[in-house]
Amino acid sequence: MVTFSTSGIPAGINIPNYDDIRQNEGFKNVSLGNVLRSRSIGEKASFIRDEDQEKYDKLVDPAFEVQVGIHELLGHGSGKLFIKDAQGNFNFNRNCINPLTQKPVESWYEGSEDYNSKFKNSGQSLEECRAECCGLYLCTNAKLLSIFGLEGETGFEVAYINWLSMARKGLLALEFYTPESNKWRQAHMQARFVILNVLREAGGIVEIKEGPLIILDKSKIETIGRKAIGHFLTKIMVYKATANVEDANKLYDHYSTVTEEYLNLRKVVIEKKKPRKVFVQAHTYLECGKVKLQNFEPTPIGIINSFITRFGPVN
């Protein structure tokens, strides 16, 4: 990533972001390496145990790379929408069985309807949650881990840190919840909070103990954890495919509920909030017909110089 002119820079993107093109034409997936690895080295991660700190610091980068890769390519990049077009033609076998009801599919998108027009406000976060669940569910797959150059015990340890990181992000997400309006302000954050609740409800794999500290039992990732995430992922995938907005919203609202316990935890999260990281963006220029890259120091002055170099001085 050389430059990205928004308030936040993505770590990966599935392009283009339209379901109809993905389904009928295909898509590209990009993973932005310098964004993935842009963090403060040696900075202690909040809300995890001391015994997890060293392993977290060592493996959080490859864990995030695996999560982003699966999230974009196999998360956003998967999932057929069942459609009945304006001529009355179906793009799926009408005998297709809904795995949640064991009956033939009873709902679909009509004519010009699409995912965004049907799911409206809840759609973005629900889709991000679906992609994040794909990352969690598949990151323990040995064959898939090998694609990222991760083998054996190292691969499983990376998967453990990925699960731990997701649970931690679910707790940190409370910063983006506004109690006064009972609203979530960021789609990814709501999605991670939902995943934390799915895992806590499953029992025995994730606990929040005094501190607060996230405790993840890695021996139960392949059993309790994957089963819970897999079941939840199946539900939201079927709801998306069959345009079942009512059941999708009911399920998602349940796991998005911020209880009194979470409101108290939110106060601690806000108290321990760290300054938002700012990405110092590089600049390219031509010199004797060759493209050169100009980097800037990771300081406030470096950020200012980066903007001046790219956009010119402010009058």
* Location of structure tokens 């979470």: 262
Cβ pair 17, 115 in contact under 8 A: no
Backbone angles phi, psi at 202, to 5 degrees: -65, -30
Cβ pair 82, 105 in contact under 8 A: yes
Q: Choosing from 72, 127, 128, 132, which is the catalytic residue? A: 72
Amino acid found at 152: G
* Location of structure tokens 């699960």: 163
Q: CB within 8 A of 261, min separation 6: which ones? A: none
What is d(CA 227, CA 234) in angstroms, rounded to the nearest whole number? 10
Which residue from 68, 75, 71 is spatially nearest to 38, judged by alpha carbons?
68
Amino acid found at 126: L
- Is-catalytic flag, 72? yes
Instruction: Give catalytic residue positions.
Output: 72
